Amino acid sequence: MDLHELEAIGEREQAQRTRLRILCCAAAGCQASGALELKRRLETVLTAAGKLADIDVTPVGCMGLCGHGPLVRLEPSGEMFERVTPADAEEIVAALEGRPCTVTRCDRQHPFFARQFPIVLRHCGQINPERIEDYIAVGGYRTLYHVIHEMTPTEVIAAITRSGLRGRGGAGYPTGLKWATVAKSPGERKFVVCNADEGDPGAFMDRSILESDPHLVLEGMAIAAYAVGAEQGFIYVRGEYPLAIERLQKAIVQARRFGLLGAQIFESGFNFRIDIRVGAGAFVCGEETALIASIEGRRGQPRPRPPYPAESGLWGMPTLINNVETFANVTAIIEHGPEWFSSIGSNRSKGTKVFALTGKVRNTGLIEVPMGITLREIVEEIGGGTPDGTPVKAVQTGGPSGGCIPASLFDTPVDYESLAAVGSIMGSGGMVVMDEHTNMVDVARFYMEFCKDESCGKCIPCRVGTVQLFNMLTKLRNRQAHARDLDKIEELCDLMRETSLCGLGQSAPNPVLSTLHYFRHEYEELIGAEGDHGS
């Protein structure tokens, strides 16, 4: 494969694009809403009308508004329909031909679409994720060619550093710095690992990216491998995501066949192969040292850092671990330049962030917004508030490691520092909206139950602390707690935060501490006269 061939494929595909097309969302969310049946029905209707030769029905990735699925979009008109049932197939075909159609149209001017800024999700819902040609048609793999033939590894790292990109997995470590460390760490072999162990309950950004645009992640990983000097990559995917795994497998096979992965990529001296490792249901494996243990076939237990994986990771070799969304940002940064990227977002948090907006909110789904947008804009404008108009009480970000931010702080801009300042974290992008009917002690208890079940059991503060906290919160909920138990809860939270071995234990108290801080009255209401039963 050379640039010529790549461009020829792109042009051939583009020529096809002038035809009428029906894009049918086939991501996991819409599949569960019956999207595949709809697609079959559309094909049947077109066949019956003798039009299947002129009109393509293309399965595409996530279009974002998952709660209103299955979604269908028409090309080239761009019209979009929601909650389309198989029975609507005839009408969709009618709409394509400009005849009247009663299926509900999505309002593309609605803030849900208008306020978004797609970089990572720019191809989602536009291309068929199971065809590499579709990806090449939108410019895919050209950045990799450019990088291999026209840039030195140092220049690539400098570009990533200048862009200000920070890890999208939660902690926000500067990506360029990580790449530079791996590049300069000595080791006979180096590895690039994509962390797709998206474990936060209430988050599905990485799943959607992998299901909708797998090649974008593969290309990002290949560029990273070129920059740090790695020849082997792994994608560690949750076992709960069979569709993402299937599409990744297909994508890797196709890329290898096209000579875009494997030996002598683009006829250069650069070799890079990618293997998939399927997780087996352990949240802690999102922690990078636990993830390494898991890829090595061991119990997913973290170890103290330093040494960091960038110096000593897989099999003791320098290992670059980035999250799916981080890799998905790479091609755009190289293509448009670091200055373009750093002009988006806020002062210290550059670019965009993908969020999974869920819970008690009208428009649930996947969104990509510039950093620095306020929580209010996300929840009220994009999300459209609660479905039944009940006032929003709080939004939870960062999953079991994050916190609940009350509605009174909704003018907080979404960036790493601001969210940390209000007692939560950016996290990987889960955003769960809670209304007045949600009891915050219950929420804290829910997360603590999660952490208790997911604690690996290695260090004492997390192993026993999570159970003790869960029991105390249960006691509280059953109105069997004393006022002094709140002090005990806070003391134990402090112990876990300061002494636990890994991020899971250190951040497990966050949901409790943030709800105690902002909604203390809900805790205190549960300590009544009845509270003395326990003694």
Partner 1 sequence: MAAKTLTIDGHLVSARPGETLLAAIRDAGITIPTLCHLDGLSEVGACRLCLVEIEGQRRLQPACMTMVSEGMVVHTNTPRLQSYRRQIIELLFAERNHVCAVCVASGNCELQRLAGMVGMDHVRYEYLSPNYPVDISHPRFGIDHNRCVLCTRCVRACDEIEGVHTWDVAGRGVNAHVITDLNQPWGTSTTCTSCGKCQLACPTGAIFPRGVTVGERPHASERIALIVEARKQRW
Partner 2 sequence: MTTSALQTDVDRDARAASDNRRKILEATMKRFQYQGDALIEVLHKAQELYGFLSPELLSDVAQRLRLPPSRVYGVATFYHFFSLAPQGEHTCTVCLGTACYVRGAALLLRELEELSGVKAGHTSADGRFSLLTARCLGACGLAPAAVLDGEVVGHADRSDLAARIRNLLGREE
Residue of 143, 364, 401, 455 interacting with partner 2 (CB under 8 A): 364
Identify what 29 binds: partner 2, partner 1, none; CB under 5 to 8 Å per kind.
partner 2
The nearest distance, CB 445 to partner 1, in angstroms, is 15
Identify what 466 binds: partner 1, partner 2, none; CB under 5 to 8 Å per kind.
partner 1
The nearest distance, CB 478 to partner 1, in angstroms, is 13
The nearest distance, CB 297 to partner 2, in angstroms, is 4
Pick the stretch among 53-61, 254-262, 381-389, 488-496 that binds partner 1 (CB under 8 A). 488-496
Verify binding: residue 476, partner 1, rule CB under 8 A.
no
Verify binding: residue 463, partner 1, rule CB under 8 A.
yes
The single residue listed with the structure tokens 């709409």 is 95
Q: Which is nearer to partner 2, 179 or 447 (CB)?
A: 447
Identify what 304 binds: partner 2, partner 1, none; CB under 5 to 8 Å per kind.
partner 1
Pick the stretch among 45-53, 103-111, 176-184, 234-242 that binds partner 2 (CB under 8 A). 234-242
Burial 109-128, CB ≥16 within 10 A → b, else e:
eebbbebbbbbbbbbbbbbb
Rounded to whole angstroms, how far apart are CA atoms 357 and 459? 33
Residues in contact with 505: Cβ distance below 8 Å, sequence separation at least 6, in sequence order: 451, 455, 459, 461, 462, 465, 466, 496
Residue of 23, 31, 416, 510 interacting with partner 2 (CB under 8 A): 31
Which 3 state secondary structure label does DSSP give 320?
A: strand
Residues in contact with 65: Cβ distance below 8 Å, sequence separation at least 6, in sequence order: 71, 82, 106, 112, 363, 364, 365
Verify binding: residue 243, partner 1, rule CB under 8 A.
no
Site string for partner 2, 337-356 (x = CB under 8 A): -------------------x
Reading the block at residue 347, the tokens are 């002062």
Verify binding: residue 510, partner 1, rule CB under 8 A.
no
Residues in contact with 4: Cβ distance below 8 Å, sequence separation at least 6, in sequence order: none
Verify binding: residue 454, partner 1, rule CB under 8 A.
yes
Rounded to whole angstroms, how far apart are CA atoms 426 and 375? 12
Verify binding: residue 460, partner 1, rule CB under 8 A.
yes
Q: Which is nearer to partner 1, 146 or 488 (CB)?
A: 488
Q: Which is nearer to partner 1, 2 or 417 (CB)?
A: 417
The nearest distance, CB 102 to partner 2, in angstroms, is 22
User: How far is the CA of 84 from the CAs of 39, 57, 72, 445, in angstroms?
Assistant: 10, 14, 7, 38
Verify binding: residue 367, partner 2, rule CB under 8 A.
no
Q: Report the run of H or E that residue 40 belongs to, with start and end.
A: helix 35-48
Verify binding: residue 299, partner 1, rule CB under 8 A.
yes
The nearest distance, CB 255 to partner 2, in angstroms, is 20
Q: Which is nearer to partner 1, 54 or 532 (CB)?
A: 532
Which 3 state secondary structure label does DSSP give 315?
A: helix
Site string for partner 2, 49-88 (x = CB under 8 A): -----------------xx-x-------------------
Site string for partner 2, 463-502 (x = CB under 8 A): ----------------------------------------
Q: What is the DSSP string of 492-510?
A: HHHHHHHH-SSHHHHHTTH
E strands present in 32-159: 55-60, 72-75, 80-81
Checking phi first, is residue 315 left (phi over 0); if not, alpha (psi -120 to 50) or beta?
left
Verify binding: residue 273, partner 1, rule CB under 8 A.
no
Residue of 59, 202, 214, 229 interacting with partner 2 (CB under 8 A): 202
Reading the block at residue 148, the tokens are 């291999």
Verify binding: residue 455, partner 1, rule CB under 8 A.
yes
The nearest distance, CB 90 to partner 2, in angstroms, is 24
Q: Cβ distance 328 to 120 under 8 Å?
A: yes
Handedness of CA 384, 387, 390, 392 (dihedral sign): negative
Site string for partner 2, 306-335 (x = CB under 8 A): ------------------------------
Verify binding: residue 198, partner 2, rule CB under 8 A.
yes
Rounded to whole angstroms, how far apart are CA atoms 360 and 435? 6
User: How far is the CA of 509 from the CAs of 144, 330, 466, 492, in angstroms?
Assistant: 42, 33, 8, 9
User: How far is the CA of 411 from the CAs of 114, 180, 379, 418, 508, in angstroms?
Assistant: 20, 36, 11, 10, 26
Verify binding: residue 296, partner 1, rule CB under 8 A.
no
In 49-174, where does DSSP find H-type helix?
Answer: 89-96, 111-114, 132-137, 142-150, 153-163
Verify binding: residue 309, partner 1, rule CB under 8 A.
no
Residue of 11, 97, 155, 498 interacting with partner 1 (CB under 8 A): 498
Quick check: bond before 70 cis, omega within 30? yes
Burial 465-503, CB ≥16 within 10 A → b, else e:
bbbbbbebbebbbeebbbeebbeebeebbebbbeebbbb
Binding residues vs partner 2 (CB under 8 A): 28-29, 31-33, 66-67, 69, 198-204, 207, 238-241, 277-283, 294-301, 356, 358-360, 364-366, 396, 399, 430, 432, 434, 438, 446-447, 450, 454, 456
Binding residues vs partner 1 (CB under 8 A): 282, 299, 303-304, 452-461, 463-468, 471-472, 488, 491-492, 495, 498-501
